[in-house]
Every structure is written in structure tokens, then in C-alpha cells.
Amino acid sequence: MPAMLVRNRASEIVRRHPRRGAPPRHAFYEPEVETMPRARLARLQLERLRRTLANAWRNVPALRARLHAAGYSPGAVASLADLAHLPFTHKDELREHYPFGLFARPRDRLLRLHASSGTTGKPTVVGYTRRDLATWSALMARTLYCAGVRPGDVVHNAYGYGLFTGGLGFHYGAERLGATVVPVSGGATERQVALLIDFGARALCATPSYALVIAETAERMGVDLRATNLQIGLFGAEPWSEQMRREIEARLGVAAIDNYGLSEIMGPGVAVECPQQDGLHAWEDHFLCEVIDPATGRAVADGEPGELVITTLTKEALPMIRYRTRDVTRAVRERCACGRTHLRLKRVAGRNDDMLIVRGINLFPSQIEALLVGVPGLAPHYQLVLERKGGLDELTVEVEPQPGLAASAVAALAETVRQRIHSRLGLRVEVRLLEPGGVPRSQGKAVRVRDLRPR
């Protein structure tokens, strides 16, 4: 590796030889932060945590009241371990204080609002100051770079534009990075395929379920996207399985990179895989992550599954203290081969409130997905239907054969799926085989479960 010219502490220009085996600097968007030694990162986090708490205490009466009730007073946090004494924030609190009650800045200092639809009741509204938007774009640029996107690349952004944070989050991140962004949003899939080819996109940003719809549409049009410039997929916003990753990679010819985020914390850009594809680096200079046992609220051991809890460290408008994401993951603190020091979160299997409990067996839809994708002759589309029959919960798995599959093979598919699920999960399910194309396709987050049980 060639020597680099760098400035030393006395501001003199000197020649420095990179450490043997160290990843090249161009592997990182912000090398200093991404490879920051853990002890320094912890000092930075503590300083920013104190600032976040001061912001909440001074500017959000509802948060001040809760912190006060928990015995916190300004200056009380002496170390990161003290975080464990602070109260959690739940999604309901955002709804209770709808729309702007948890904001730490007056409405006229906000440049943007986003909201998540919320299936019941009021939506959750989040807001950003000018600085928050700048922080977000910079983090999204770092996220895209970490996935392999480079300045000058064409980025095809099929995340939905609007109140959902996916579209605009990726949009401004790609611009900030110096890429050419194609703001297509979701839908009109045949046109998307044409634009992917005509504009020479190197990266595709979409939910994994929509990426699959794009792959399927291209195949139907007779287009082989594997033979185009497309190399990277940034897929997230919904749970997906490792099997689905391999399926999408094979059909689109991309490295499929998982990325995670949520509106309440910022939007996309909270955590992303590096090309190692072995866990998502959570950007710890902006977010403090804990993984807890949801029942006791106490931290689980590293590597154990639990609920992800996030404290924001740099947000001005909407500081979040110990936000209960309800997402189930595992934290890995061993150093990644890529050289980044930020902890890794294992693939999010789902939200703990999306967990299905069917006749005493707990499972996430993504666990069923992992068993369906790759079954010969079966298309990788599915929906789970929950019904109550005779007082018992019944799970029906709706799937479809690949187009053109011989009738004799179709007949055996349902039984194959039934047996596979029974042998791996110990669960007896009904399998309903629909016509090819019968499972609803998504343009954004896929609806995996239809719960028809009486409420």
C-alpha cells in the first residue's frame, strides 16, 4: 500500500505508511469516526448524551417531568452506565403528545415533518431542524458509502417519497455523497426496469419485497438485470430473511445490503451492513444502542436476542431517550473485518409485537419466509392468514407456484411446504396454493400477515 501524505499534530506534512493489514482509507466515508477506538467513541457518546439530556430537560416539559420523576437532575449522568437509570420512552408517548408535544424546538424552527401512518389511532409525527437534516444527509451518505456506493454512481431510489422517511432520506444522502439520484419512488414497475437500464444505475434502493417485484417484472419483460450496470442493492424498512437475500442477489445480480432505521430515531441511516454482510453497523457516534429483555427492561448479554433501545445523541428537534423500538436483534461487539469499530446489530427478525403466537408457538413471519424461499418450483411471495376456528388459532400460508410449473409438480408443492414448516417449526399449518401472481405484490413495505381473528 503506498505511503500517504498527512498532517501531524504540529501541522507539518509528513509521509505515513498505513498499518500493515489496515483497510484502505477509501473504504470509509469518514475514516476518523468509523474506525474510532472504542474508548474515544465512549467519551464522545458520554459528552453527547449529556448534551441530549440537557436539551430534553430544558426544552421538553413532558420529558423533564419523566426524568425528574426518575430522580434525574441535570449533571447526574457521570458515565454511560448511568443511562440504565433513565426512564424508557415508548411509541405511545409520541401519540399522546401528538403532534408536536415532544419537540425540543418551536415549530417554526423545523424545516421538515415526517409521519408514520400507524394502523390504529393517530400517526407518529417527527420533525427536523436544519441541523438535523444536515446530520441525517451526512449519515445517509456514510450509509450509502458503507454499502459500496461511490460519488458519480447513479442511485435508483425506489423507496416511497412522502411522509415515509425512506424516499427523502436516501435522496438527500445520495446527493450529499455526490451520486446522481433518480427519484422514482415506488410503482410503475415496468418503467422502473427501463430506467434502471437506460440511466445505468449502479445502486438500487428499495424494500426487499419491492426489489423482488422489480426482478420479477424484468424477467417477465425479458430483461436480464444481471447483465446491466446494477451492482448494489440497499434493502431495508421491513424484515427479510437470509434466504430472501440470496434469492434477490441471484435474480438482480447485486450485493444485497441490509439497512435499518426508524422514523422516531431519524429514518433510514441508523445501521447498515458493510460488504462483509455480517451484521449492521449502528452509527454509534449518533445513536446509543442497548439490547434489553423486554420483560425486565434489563440489558441482555452481548450476542443474546432482545429488544433494541436507542438514545439519540445529536438530534435537536426530537431527542429520544431510551426509545423502545420493539425490534428484536442481537448486538455483536467484536471488531468487524472491515475495520469499523461501531457495534453490529444482527438482522432484525421483526418487532416483538409482530410476533405470531400460534397454538403456543412463537414465530416471526420472516422465519416462515426463510423456509419458503428456495423451495423448488415455489415463487418467493407469501402471505400468512390467521383465523380462529373452533376456539383455536389456525395459520394458513398462502403461496404460489412459479409461472409455467408443470401441473404434476404444482400438486406436490402444498404438501412440501406443509411438511417443511412442520418439521422445522413444529407447527401444523394449512397451505393455500394460489395462481401465479395471486399473492399481493408490494410497492413498499409488504403486508405479510392478514389477521382475521375476531377482536
> Could you write out the DSSP letters of every residue in 348-378?
--EEGGG-EEETTEEE-HHHHHHHHTT-TTB
Segments in 200-349 forming alpha helices (H): 208-220, 242-252
What's the residue count for the chain? 455
Our finding on whether 444 is near ligand DLL (CB under 6 A) is no
User: Residue 108 Cβ, how far from ligand DLL at the closest point, in Å?
Assistant: 25
Q: Is there a contact between 126 and 102 (Cβ–Cβ < 8 Å)? A: no
Q: Which of residues 160-219 bind ligand DLL (CB under 6 A)?
A: 164-166
Smaller CB separation from ligand DLL, 35 or 383 = 383
Smaller CB separation from ligand DLL, 91 or 226 = 91
Q: Which of 216, 273, 307, 327 binds ligand DLL (CB under 6 A)?
A: 327
Binding pattern for the stretch 403-432 against ligand DLL, x by CB under 6 A and - elsewhere: ------------------------------
Our finding on whether 116 is near ligand DLL (CB under 6 A) is yes
Our finding on whether 323 is near ligand DLL (CB under 6 A) is no
Q: Which of 23, 261, 306, 319 binds ligand DLL (CB under 6 A)?
A: 261
Smaller CB separation from ligand DLL, 242 or 387 = 242
Our finding on whether 228 is near ligand DLL (CB under 6 A) is no
User: Residue 17 Cβ, how far from ligand DLL at the closest point, in Å?
Assistant: 38
Our finding on whether 45 is near ligand DLL (CB under 6 A) is no
User: Residue 422 Cβ, how far from ligand DLL at the closest point, in Å?
Assistant: 26
User: Residue 269 Cβ, how far from ligand DLL at the closest point, in Å?
Assistant: 8
Q: Which of 23, 268, 380, 444 binds ligand DLL (CB under 6 A)?
A: 268
Tally of CB atoms within 10 A around 368:
26
> Could you write out the DSSP letters of every residue in 373-441?
TT-TTB-S--EEEEEEETTEEEEEEEE-BPTT--HHHHHHHHHHHHHHHHHHH----EEEEPPTT-SPP
Our finding on whether 351 is near ligand DLL (CB under 6 A) is yes
> Interface with ligand DLL by CB under 6 A: which range of 213-221, 258-266, 375-383, 408-416?
258-266
Our finding on whether 258 is near ligand DLL (CB under 6 A) is yes
> Interface with ligand DLL by CB under 6 A: which range of 39-47, 252-260, 286-294, 297-305?
252-260
Q: Which of 228, 259, 367, 442 binds ligand DLL (CB under 6 A)?
A: 259
Smaller CB separation from ligand DLL, 35 or 89 = 89
* Beta-bridge partners for 451: 386
Cell of 311: 438514545
Cell of 417: 411446504
Burial of 411 from C-beta contacts in 10 A (0-12 / 13-18 / 19+): exposed
Three-class SS of 197-223: HHCCCCEEEECHHHHHHHHHHHHHCCC
Our finding on whether 442 is near ligand DLL (CB under 6 A) is no
User: Residue 162 Cβ, how far from ligand DLL at the closest point, in Å?
Assistant: 11
Q: DSSP label at 320?
A: -
**Side-chain-side CA neighbours of residue 190 (13 Å):** 3
User: Residue 124 Cβ, how far from ligand DLL at the closest point, in Å?
Assistant: 8
Smaller CB separation from ligand DLL, 216 or 327 = 327
Element (H, E) at 328: strand 323-329
Our finding on whether 348 is near ligand DLL (CB under 6 A) is yes
Tally of CB atoms within 10 A around 185:
18
User: Residue 365 Cβ, how far from ligand DLL at the closest point, in Å?
Assistant: 11
* Triad 243, 284, 163: Cα angle to 5°: 70
Our finding on whether 267 is near ligand DLL (CB under 6 A) is yes
Question: For residues 26 and 308, what is the distance between their CA atoms, to the nearest angstrom?
Answer: 31
Our finding on whether 369 is near ligand DLL (CB under 6 A) is no
User: Residue 350 Cβ, how far from ligand DLL at the closest point, in Å?
Assistant: 7
Q: Which of residues 127-166 bind ligand DLL (CB under 6 A)?
A: 159, 164-166
Secondary structure class of 44 (helix, strand, coil): helix
Alpha carbon separation from 151 to 141, 176, 203, 349 (Å, rounded): 10, 9, 12, 32
* Triad 41, 327, 312: Cα angle to 5°: 35
Smaller CB separation from ligand DLL, 67 or 256 = 256
Determine if the peptide bond prior to 380 is cis (ω within 30°). Answer: no
**Contacts to ligand DLL by CB under 6 A:** 116, 159, 164-166, 236-239, 258-263, 267-268, 325, 327, 348, 351
